[in-house]
Structure 1
């Protein structure tokens, strides 16, 4: 069984963060390990408070996981502070495995999930990861991104890593745009008007990591993950009073893949 590591924050309501990553890993049949970076008091309506983990303890968690497991891929989510970002960068910089970075800035309920001084430090991770998975707002903060801005697109295409910008809506389609190896590719699924989107970004990036660990190439991993999220939203259990969680197990079952 392949082992995939999530470096991310905890969501006590179970729909996003580490909890969503573990549910995604389980759905795809890989074993999930975790390194906690922050604890959050949150639910589907928003984040009430955040408690950060000491960077030295983040490092100890990383060391213990790698001392005991052969990790096949990593998903990185909420890091929150520049100190934690620096700690993670020092650990991953010499690794030779797929790494998926979801540069978490803002929750779907509108809560800020990155300290103000950490955005520049986040960019220092880019040389050491396989793919970035920002949404439109995160891409705007990182690159001043607009999908018709040629200069910005050229900047993104020059990165060592691939970048997929999520959640552009057009003609009843949800479109994710991949910039990689000098090329642009779009992944489309039918747009679902749904309030059940809590943790979709976390689950999308962890699904990519799981599929890369299973030996799929980047294009296959993105395509499967994109369809997985569509089915997980479509079959969501309608829980909570805000942005409800998705159905990870059902989302995978509806893919009809082994």
Structure 2
């Protein structure tokens, strides 16, 4: 099981220079990835929030081996044509190390939708997510994008340069027991279960995704977000291929993250 430092860019970590220092230290200590939360607002007591894409660009130039990316980005509140440019640019800048985490997002953590007049209905956001993922796949392939959907329009645009990777890995976030997120996850490259409580819960979701995939033998990632104190061995046995460090977003400090980084990845 691979290991990644996964942090919200809040308060002390809202300084991108601090995130870069953590990413450099993570690479030096043998971690496999450095992923960041993607939010424009969070509930109190969080006050400061950094932009993930700018931060990841800085991380990309300061590191050379670790995987990186937003984990997860709520595509329904982002324009897919802008994300197509951002992801391709970041993949080129990093030499092909980007992983895109994607999901519906939620309004309950900080009113990220309602306070900006964005879509709050889950069903409509699910449709927006699926359309955005379709657009991204065609854009990354270097093909002309012709998309006229309910939520998005791209009228004959080719997105160049392409990413370095033949295909940027997409990990879909969702609740393990819900049918539609599992079906969506099975169509892409990985799954990030939300509110995971027990290895048995993970094993059941992994089994369902396996049965839904067109090619169950193809490589596939399952990334669990857990604190360092969790039963990582149990989750690895249940099918996890990545461990992402989970921190309390309301109490996270640079010292806390630095200590976990220095302790090293799961082995």
Q: TM-score range by the shorter chain?
A: 0.3 to 0.5
Q: TM-score, normalised by structure 2?
A: 0.44
Normalized per residue, the structure richer in strand is 1
Q: TM-score, normalised by structure 1?
A: 0.45
- Which structure would you say has the larger Rg? 2
